[in-house]
Amino acid sequence: MSTEKEALRREMSSRFRATRKRLDLTQEKMAELLGIDLRSYCDLEHGKYFCSTLVFLRYLLISSTNINELLAELEKNLTAD
């Protein structure tokens, strides 16, 4: 796997975890809101894989994240590595 993909997976797993904690949700509740099973969410939060587009869009809605700001932050963080 490319270094860029690994960095993106790490960055997003960190964001999923931080968002869940900020919203005071359990992993089980976060998984339910994202429409995935608990095991898949745990794997996602631990950086074992990257989410589907549908799960990513649900994340944006749940977290109230502005897509443009997120992309700018991802670009900045990924190019800094």
Each residue's pLDDT tens digit, 25-77:
999 999 999 999 999 999 999 999 889 999 999 999 999 988 898 888 888 87
The domain segmentation of the chain, as residue ranges, is 3-80
| Cβ count near 45 (within 10 Å) | 20
Homologous superfamily of 3-80: lambda repressor-like DNA-binding domains (1.10.260.40)
> For residue 39, how many C-alpha atoms fall within 13 Å in the half-sphere facing its CB?
0
Encoded tokens for 14: 């960190």
Q: What is the pTM of this model?
A: 0.84
* pLDDT tens-digit map of 1-23: 578 888 888 889 999 999 999 99
